[in-house]
Amino acid sequence: MQEKWWHNAVVYQVYPKSFKDSNGDGIGDLPGITSKLDYLAKLGITAIWLSPVYDSPMDDNGYDIANYQDIAAIFGTMEDMDELIAEAKKRDIRIIMDLVVNHTSDEHAWFIEARENPQSPERDYYIWRDEPNELESIFSGSAWQYDEKAGQYYLHFFSKKQPDLNWENEELRQKIYEMMNFWIDKGIGGFRMDVIDMIGKIPDEKVVNNGPMLHPYLKEMNQATFGGKDLLTVGETWGANPEEAKKYSNPEGQELSMVFQFEHICLQYQEGQPKWHYQKELNVGKLKEIFNKWQTELGVEDGWNSLFWNNHDLPRIVSIWGNDREYREKSAKAFAILLHLMRGTPYIYQGEEIGMTNYPFETLDQVEDIESINYAKEALEQGVPLEQIMDSIRVIGRDNARTPMQWDETKNAGFSDGQPWLAVNPNYEAINVQEALENPDSIFYTYQKLVNIRKENSWLVRADFELLETAEKVFAYIRKDGDCRFLVVANLSNQKQEFAVEESITSVLIANTDVKATIEQLTLAPWDAFCIELAK
Ligand code: TEU
Ligand code: CA
């Protein structure tokens, strides 16, 4: 295989609205991000995935784009964006832009023209029908919205303010590629592609994901834009299996660098149920099965995967699967150690590196996320008790990931001098960056060390993965490349567990516990996790 910079990268996701406010309006912004680059450089990350900062009415916090080549005023200006790219580059950090091209905002000039002028070329950039079918929006209700002006229904798989684009229109595709080249010319490091597996949809046949034209479009996009350039491209592909992932990421296929697949995350939901019927208790057996499948079936010659527990749509890992009370630090470190030594590119979501937790939402007016709000309205109409709705939102709602970044113990956690747009978690006095940097034992330094271990052991890119037979709640594996061998062990439970393997320890690379001189027979305390180098 040809090794690329992104095989060895660690990416940090920034959700701009919640990262750092520079001007006291309570909303994070681009100068705020630039002011924290030294912090990110200290963590050691190679790239930032920047959630959308484009001009937008913010119905879905920027995933509804009104102008792809302009910056939302709340985030700053194009000069601020250029400055962020340049300042990041000085620190060897690349900026990965969020590419949201399954839909636009209904305030995009294309849609305004399309709805007002049936004869315009833009009309066909969107998907119009005289009658709706049964397709449902991911944000509740029908996926079709009647438009008075247009006299037809348009398709929107997300909010009503996010009309789906019609990828069958060749002119539209060319416009998207031109826009991508505009950003590539600015010197960005790549693209994260929002719900990219939906662009090949055939609404009349109720085909939504993985439509037949999906891969042809991606090949066309690759040739027209980033192909041949040294960029990281990652597709958000919820339902991909290893075979699908190969189609996207096999270098010969000339599509993307890697995918985000969510099979492990789907263990947070009850099978076949909407996410609001969450499944809080982690099934470690299933988790092992899923990772084992991906680590062994997506070979290093076949393609590439990403590794993540968190993003801006998901609950905090330490709250849903860890123990955010008596074992907050330990369980946060255990999930980090377990994940970052696997094959794939690790992603860290802002605040994960200090063990930020879910927010104790109590009332609906504390909630800002359109997905949660639409769900709550629909569920209330159906007679679901409010307390049950709030329980779902507390455990699995997207705002859990979006509360302001906790920088220090001062007012508003040092996020803003003004009133933050979403409440700061009340635990910020104990959980914040300043505290983490001062404490050599903090979760932050576990992440920093993991980033370094990957940098210093580039054989981890190629190494085989072998899952060990262990007690149910213990997840243990060996990475092996020639003489080099790492053993990773994590107890994913609140109980003691027994672990044994006939090996002697050469050196402990990282641990959240004291590892004894022999591991032939070991009693693991709750959430113990470590990586040791095995003798050659
Ligand atoms: O998410 C895709 C998506 O399907 C999510 O809505 C997901 O199912 C849900 O949030 C899980 O809780 C992407 C973005 O990451 C998300 O923020 C956007 O809202 C969505 O696309 C529309 O652009
Ligand atoms: Ca601001």
Q: Are 225 and 183 in contact (CB under 8 A)?
A: no
Angle, helix 242-249 to helix 214-224, in steps of 10 degrees: 30
396 lines ligand 1 (CB under 6 A): no
Q: Say if residue 143 is in the same domain as residue 285.
A: no
∠ CA 480-485-489, rounded to 5°: 100
Q: Is 45 exposed, middle or buried (0-12, 13-18, 19+ CB in 10 A)?
A: buried
Q: Say if residue 470 is in the same domain as residue 348.
A: no
Q: How many domains does the chain have?
A: 4
277's CB contacts (< 8 A; 6+ apart) are 269, 270, 392
Q: Say if residue 64 is in the same domain as residue 192.
A: yes
Q: Say if residue 441 is in the same domain as residue 323.
A: yes
- Looking from the CA of residue 371, the nearest atom of ligand 1 is 10
The answer to the question of residue 237 being in a domain is no
Q: How far is the CA of 331 from the centre of ligand 1 (A)?
A: 26
194 lines ligand 1 (CB under 6 A): yes
Q: Say if residue 500 is in the same domain as residue 525.
A: yes
Q: Say if residue 341 is in the same domain as residue 429.
A: yes
What CATH number is attached to the domain comprising 493? 2.60.40.1180
Place of tokens 């990268």: 9
Q: Say if residue 42 is in the same domain as residue 72.
A: yes
Ligand 1 atom 23: residue of nearest CA: 63
Q: Which ligand is closest in space to the CA of residue 27?
A: 2
195 lines ligand 1 (CB under 6 A): yes
Q: Say if residue 389 is in the same domain as residue 433.
A: no
The answer to the question of residue 456 being in a domain is no
- Of the candidates 236, 244, 313, 371, the residue annotated as catalytic is 236
Q: Are 144 and 132 in contact (CB under 8 A)?
A: yes
Q: Say if residue 386 is in the same domain as residue 375.
A: yes
156 lines ligand 1 (CB under 6 A): no
Please give the residue range of the domain that contains residue 501. Answer: 464-534
| Best probe residue, ligand 1, of 53, 195, 196, 264 (max atoms within 8 Å of C-beta) | 195
What's the pLDDT score for residue 517?
A: 59
Q: Say if residue 20 is in the same domain as residue 126.
A: no
422's CB contacts (< 8 A; 6+ apart) are 17, 18, 368, 399, 402, 403, 404
The answer to the question of residue 264 being in a domain is no
Q: Say if residue 354 is in the same domain as residue 433.
A: yes
Residue 530 identity (one-letter amino acid): F
What CATH number is attached to the domain comprising 51? 3.20.20.80
Q: Whole-model pTM? A: 0.98
Give CA separation, 46 vs 90, 249, 345, 448, 510, in Å.
Answer: 12, 20, 11, 12, 21
Nearest to 224 by CA among 252, 247, 255, 198: 255
| Best probe residue, ligand 1, of 60, 65, 97, 158 (max atoms within 8 Å of C-beta) | 158
What's the pLDDT score for residue 516?
A: 72
Helices of type H across 313-424? 317-320, 328-340, 370-381, 386-396
Q: Are 447 and 338 in contact (CB under 8 A)?
A: no
Ligand 1 atom 11: residue of nearest CA: 313
Q: How far is the CA of 313 from the centre of ligand 1 (A)?
A: 6
Phi-psi region of 164 (alpha: psi -120 to 50; beta: other; left: phi over 0): beta
What CATH number is attached to the domain comprising 131? 3.90.400.10
Profile the chain (536 residues) by mean pLDDT over runs of 10 residues.
Answer: 95 99 98 99 98 98 98 98 98 98 98 98 98 97 97 98 98 98 98 98 97 98 97 97 98 97 98 95 98 96 97 98 98 98 98 98 98 98 98 98 98 98 98 98 98 97 97 98 96 96 86 80 93 90
The answer to the question of residue 262 being in a domain is no
Q: Say if residue 326 is in the same domain as residue 435.
A: yes
What's the pLDDT score for residue 48?
A: 99
The answer to the question of residue 95 being in a domain is yes
The answer to the question of residue 239 being in a domain is no
Q: Is 194 a catalytic residue?
A: yes
The answer to the question of residue 257 being in a domain is no
Q: Are 485 and 506 in contact (CB under 8 A)?
A: no
What's the pLDDT score for residue 117?
A: 97
Phi-psi region of 111 (alpha: psi -120 to 50; beta: other; left: phi over 0): alpha
∠ CA 138-144-149, rounded to 5°: 135
398 lines ligand 1 (CB under 6 A): yes
The answer to the question of residue 165 being in a domain is no
Q: Which ligand is closest in space to the CA of residue 29?
A: 2
What's the pLDDT score for residue 518?
A: 66
- Looking from the CA of residue 60, the nearest atom of ligand 1 is 19
Q: How far is the CA of 398 from the centre of ligand 1 (A)?
A: 9
Beta bridge partners of 522: 499
Q: Is 236 a catalytic residue?
A: yes
Ligand 1 atom 16: residue of nearest CA: 313
Q: How far is the CA of 399 from the centre of ligand 2 (A)?
A: 19
- Looking from the CA of residue 100, the nearest atom of ligand 1 is 23
| Best probe residue, ligand 1, of 59, 159, 194, 208 (max atoms within 8 Å of C-beta) | 194
What's the pLDDT score for residue 271?
A: 92
Starting at the edge strand that comes first in sequence, how are the strands of the sheet with 474-481 ordered?
Answer: 464-467, 474-481, 484-491, 529-534, 505-511
